[in-house]
Every structure is written in C-alpha cells, then in structure tokens.
Amino acid sequence: MKKKLFGLLAGTALVLAACGGGDDASDKKDGGATQTASAAEDIYKKSCAGCHGQNLEGGAGPALDKVGSKYSQDEIKNIIANGRGGMPGGLIQGEDVDKVAEWLASKK
C-alpha cells in the first residue's frame, strides 16, 4: 500500500513539474496576438484542461480542437460564462472569458 501511494505521489510530482514552465520571450515579441493567445492558453490549462484535455482533445468534456468551426466567439463566450450541459458557468471570470473565447474561436 505504501509503495502504491509513493508511486502515485512521485508520478503526480513528475506530471506537475512537466506542466510548469517559464515565460517564453518569443511570446512577447509582438505584444499582441501571440501574448493574448499565450495568456488564453494559460487560463485554459488552469481552468478547462482538466475536462477538455491539455491539447483540446476532450476527456470528460468535449474536444475543443475545432470548436471555432462550430461556434462563433460570442457563442463560445456565452457557453463559458453560463455553462452548458454538465459544464458549470463562471469557471472563468472577467476579461479572461474574452481571451479564452477569442482563442478558442480561432480553433477551426
């Protein structure tokens, strides 16, 4: 039992370490779209990836890799704000909703 618990903790530590990262100076070169996309990805990874997957591939929630071909930016913003199906609304707040909605709308 102790070996299993230790293995679980060690594995979790490795996964969390792999998910971390520093600032990439290249994201800030244009100061605009790339930086916004990077911020949106960070927000997504913290608030959405647990259900929708690290690479938008889906999991407990649907895949979002092509969500922009199905929904407009405003529709995505509404889903984030109000929820849909099993997804609760309000997981992301304020300007972060706009950033993530814009980023997801570009996924086609």
Distant-in-sequence, close-in-space partners of 55: CB < 8 Å, separation ≥ 6: 65
Give the predicted TM-score (pTM) of the model. Answer: 0.68
pLDDT computed for residue 20 by the predictor: 44
Q: How confident is the prediction along the chain (108 residues), in pLDDT tens digits per residue? A: 555 544 555 555 544 444 444 444 433 444 567 777 899 999 999 999 999 999 999 999 999 999 999 999 999 999 999 999 999 999 999 999 999 999 999 999
Distance CA 76, CA 39 (A): 17
Total length of the chain? 108
